Structure 1
Amino acid sequence: MNKAILAASIVVAAVAIFFVYSQFIDLDFGDGGVPIIKDFVQVSENGKGRADLDDSAFQIGQVSTVQASSSELSLPDLFAKVEKSVVQITDSDETNPLDSRLGSGFVYDTNGHIITNYHVVNGGGRLDVTFLDGTVYRATLIGSDPFTDLAVLYVEDVPREKLVPLPLGNSSNIRVGEQVAAIGNPFGLSGSMSAGIVSGVGRLIPTQEAGGFSIPDVIQTDAPINPGNSGGPLLNMRGEVIGINSAIFSTTGQFAGVGFAIPSDTMTKVVPSLITTGSFKHPWLGVSGRDMTPGIADRLNLEEPRGFLVMEVVAGSPAEQAGIRGGNQEVVIDGVPVMLGGDVIISIDDRTVRKIDDILVYLQRDKEVGDELKLTILRDGREMNVTAVLAARPSQQESP
């Protein structure tokens, strides 16, 4: 069990999560075809990084200059409204073209900031941004966050008329069944649109690395998403960005009807920090364990299978400092090894915890580093409250 995570184990039989960037020559998602999140990358091959830029590069310009429509648009009208704001992004490896990457992005503000996925631009190659009219500008990676798969590029000396920011919507208001559209560059085919619906909300998907953490509150869609779509916007029918297309569930690496987008609420919270500081500090508790199951609940004599069983507590973490206890007795329940003896978290800040997703989403949406978190736990059959002060989530290199 990874001691640095606050996530439940996710087991997917014969199915993998693919982060859908496109390689220039070989689109086979075999060995090396799936991007691996390794480090916080701040300097690209062209030699430029944050330290080489003027302070003006880290100022947020005017956002949302494209006003959302007051009513739902047709798909052709939606595309016409937003197409100028969507760009193609290339991460070129001149020594090995097979390692080059192609994805999508969109304009965030009038100061030349482009939002995309971290896995699209973490190859360390030369970064270029291509606008709708075919003009290409060299870009610098100025901020990245593997924990949410978000990154911000900065392009200099772009004419103001090319920088048409898209409005970020409120992803917490979306409902399953709403019509959505994805725009990007699948297989390098620039300016492509696909349509579908919101298939699910509040999904939890694992990052490729980043210390084994998972991305919470993710939107599921059946709008076709293919290699090259990563980093492009997922839009509602009023022209608002409600997510950034990132990954698919597939047995082959090609779209199979289940795509995932990082929600706009996450972008609203994370992106400004990526621009101004280069990174984002995620609130962190420091426990790992399992969601409650009927088998575990029966073994613990609980009335219902609800809550999160703490099996390990990270040394020095907010959880340890608050007195949260991990497990000390390994047993097998329903064929699965489980460490019993730890606390069961049943609510946080008076909000019911059914499973780990409830904790992760609440921390992501509502908490900051340094905030207090009240946890209601079950310990030896007794209910009690403890308070933890959330710390910054450690990077993979800092994790025990």
Structure 2
Amino acid sequence: MRLRRYEFFALLILLVTVTTLTGCESFIPALTEQMVSAQPTTVPTLRPPTDVPTEVPAQVPQDIVMTPSSAPSLDMAAEDELFDVQEALTIMVYERASPSVVHITSRVITMDFSGGLYPSEGTGSGFVIDEQGHIVTNNHVVEGAQTVEVILLDGTVAEAEIVGLDPLNDLAVIRVDVDPDELYPVDMSYEGQLKVGQRAIAIGNPFGLDWTLTTGVISSLGRPLQISSDQIIYDVIQTDAAINPGNSGGPLLNSRGQLIGVNAAIRAGAENIGFAIPLSTVQRVVPELIENGRYRHPWMGVEGYGLFPELAQRLELPVEKGMLIARIASGSPAELAGLRGATSEMVLGNFRILVGGDIIVAIDGSYIESDAARREYLETRTRAGQEIEVTFYRGDELMTTRVRLGEMEQ
């Protein structure tokens, strides 16, 4: 049977349509798979590369455990592992230095209002410095004591004699007659430069709690510690390590157990503000206390005012800083060296000022900006009997002279 032309074309279009739809059905699943695999929320499964072995190689030693085991119990841990580095250092310092520390009891006979005598006692700390039995403490711990008793760490009790006192620096040396094998001198070999923030460790007997350790840091350096109107201890170390009554005279140590100071005082009404006399002062004073029983403080024999710009302008002086000499003691080293004191008096506001004297501006090349600076320089950097060079103004003329320092009367 023969198809008409239009019927032929209709059949041809039908065949093409069916073929196209069949191809779309096979294409859609492939397209859908590509779109799903592009979604960011789908995490592909990771498989090891075929060229990398999944087992432990044979050359790995058998004693190496590739997977962590359970942590050991605290009971099984070695003792040293229980401490961190900081704790271990503190423990080492205490074990090393505590045998050097002693408990000091001083007894004084005092009189009451009725004239009766009764004993009183105070306690403090100290530390052994040699095998001859010399012990360093504060002057205020043993000053005026009729008897001094020392207790060592092992419980040994011994009477002590006072060897030397230095009230101005609040230092004292006492001595016990004890077998050298029972004495453990503190390490005084530190020669470094102290820095703020450096660890500070105090050992002493606060409130009778013997051999107590407290820790802190060096809070400041070079402090002047005003004890009274005429007593200043220079270059003092400030620390926040707890210092309490009974700590006086005990050692202040660094993290190696080396002596860096002698605990001496606290700021009344404040917390964590304590002061220690520096090792440099101990090294300067103690040998003289052992040898002579006293420290010979250098003396120049002058008194005066510290200058400042306003005062210098009012007095029409050639410099704005320095020490204006007001008085010179008769027969003093300053007078023998030719220095001159005030020649007249001037009233400035409500004050009378002695003027016309020489103006000290330097000692041995170090600038002196006030009378306090002059006294500090003499105390910390010179000795009695030493000759110093003094630079000064007389009028507008800059001059120098040499002064041999004498010994201050105490």
Separation of aligned partners in 1, 2:246 and 2:118 = 16
Among residues 182, 197, 215, which one is paired with 1:162 in the alignment? Answer: 182
Alignment of 1:208-287 (within 5 A): 208=228, 212-250=230-268, 252=269, 256-287=271-302
2:200 is aligned to 180
1:152 is aligned to 173
Separation of aligned partners in 1, 2:120 and 2:330 = 38
Whether the aligned pair in 1 keeps the contact of 2:297 and 2:379 (CA below 8 Å) is yes
Q: Does 1:353 align with 2:353?
A: no
Separation of aligned partners in 2, 1:73 and 1:315 = 60
Separation of aligned partners in 2, 1:318 and 1:160 = 44
Separation of aligned partners in 1, 2:101 and 2:219 = 24
Whether the aligned pair in 2 keeps the contact of 1:196 and 1:223 (CA below 8 Å) is yes
Classify 1:283/1:194 alpha carbon distance in 2 versus 1 (closer, same or farther; 3 Å).
Answer: same
Separation of aligned partners in 1, 2:118 and 2:182 = 29
Contiguous gaps of at least 5 residues in structure 1: 1-70, 396-400
The AA in structure 1 aligned to 2:212 is S
2:337 is aligned to 322
Report SS of the residue matched to 1:74: helix
CA displacement at 1:199 relative to structure 2: 2.5
The AA in structure 2 aligned to 1:204 is P
Identity of aligned residues (%): 41
Whether the aligned pair in 2 keeps the contact of 1:89 and 1:102 (CA below 8 Å) is yes
Report SS of the residue matched to 1:187: helix
TM-score by length of 1: 0.72
Q: Does 1:197 align with 2:212?
A: no
Whether the aligned pair in 2 keeps the contact of 1:219 and 1:260 (CA below 8 Å) is yes
Whether the aligned pair in 1 keeps the contact of 2:205 and 2:247 (CA below 8 Å) is yes
Whether the aligned pair in 1 keeps the contact of 2:107 and 2:119 (CA below 8 Å) is no
Separation of aligned partners in 2, 1:297 and 1:98 = 56
The AA in structure 1 aligned to 2:289 is L
Classify 1:182/1:342 alpha carbon distance in 2 versus 1 (closer, same or farther; 3 Å).
Answer: farther
Separation of aligned partners in 1, 2:319 and 2:266 = 33
Whether the aligned pair in 2 keeps the contact of 1:289 and 1:311 (CA below 8 Å) is yes
Among residues 93, 97, 100, which one is paired with 2:121 in the alignment? Answer: 100
Classify 1:129/1:77 alpha carbon distance in 2 versus 1 (closer, same or farther; 3 Å).
Answer: same
Separation of aligned partners in 2, 1:222 and 1:332 = 45
Separation of aligned partners in 2, 1:80 and 1:216 = 31
The AA in structure 1 aligned to 2:221 is V
Report SS of the residue matched to 2:213: strand
Separation of aligned partners in 2, 1:230 and 1:327 = 43
The AA in structure 1 aligned to 2:96 is K
Contiguous gaps of at least 5 residues in structure 2: 1-85, 111-116
Report SS of the residue matched to 1:298: helix
Report SS of the residue matched to 1:257: coil
Report SS of the residue matched to 2:186: coil
Separation of aligned partners in 2, 1:194 and 1:234 = 10
1:288 is aligned to 303
1:80 is aligned to 95
Separation of aligned partners in 2, 1:107 and 1:223 = 21
Report SS of the residue matched to 1:326: coil
Separation of aligned partners in 1, 2:216 and 2:305 = 33
Among residues 121, 137, 160, which one is paired with 1:116 in the alignment? Answer: 137
Give the RMSD, CA atoms, in angstroms: 2.7
1:68 is aligned to none
CA displacement at 1:120 relative to structure 2: 0.8
Q: After superposition, give the CA deviation of every residue in 1:47-74 in whole Å (9 maximum; x if it has no partner).
A: xxxxxxxxxxxxxxxxxxxxxxxx9973
Among residues 378, 381, 388, which one is paired with 1:363 in the alignment? Answer: 378
Report SS of the residue matched to 2:169: coil
Classify 1:171/1:86 alpha carbon distance in 2 versus 1 (closer, same or farther; 3 Å).
Answer: same
2:78 is aligned to none
Classify 1:352/1:94 alpha carbon distance in 2 versus 1 (closer, same or farther; 3 Å).
Answer: closer
The AA in structure 2 aligned to 1:368 is R
Separation of aligned partners in 1, 2:238 and 2:395 = 38
Separation of aligned partners in 2, 1:331 and 1:136 = 63
Separation of aligned partners in 1, 2:231 and 2:271 = 25
Report SS of the residue matched to 1:261: strand
Classify 1:295/1:189 alpha carbon distance in 2 versus 1 (closer, same or farther; 3 Å).
Answer: farther
TM-score by length of 2: 0.70
1:143 is aligned to 164
Separation of aligned partners in 2, 1:333 and 1:247 = 38
Q: Does 1:126 align with 2:133?
A: no
> Relative contact order: is structure 1 or structure 2 higher (C-alpha 8 Å, sep ≥ 6)?
1
CA displacement at 1:153 relative to structure 2: 0.6
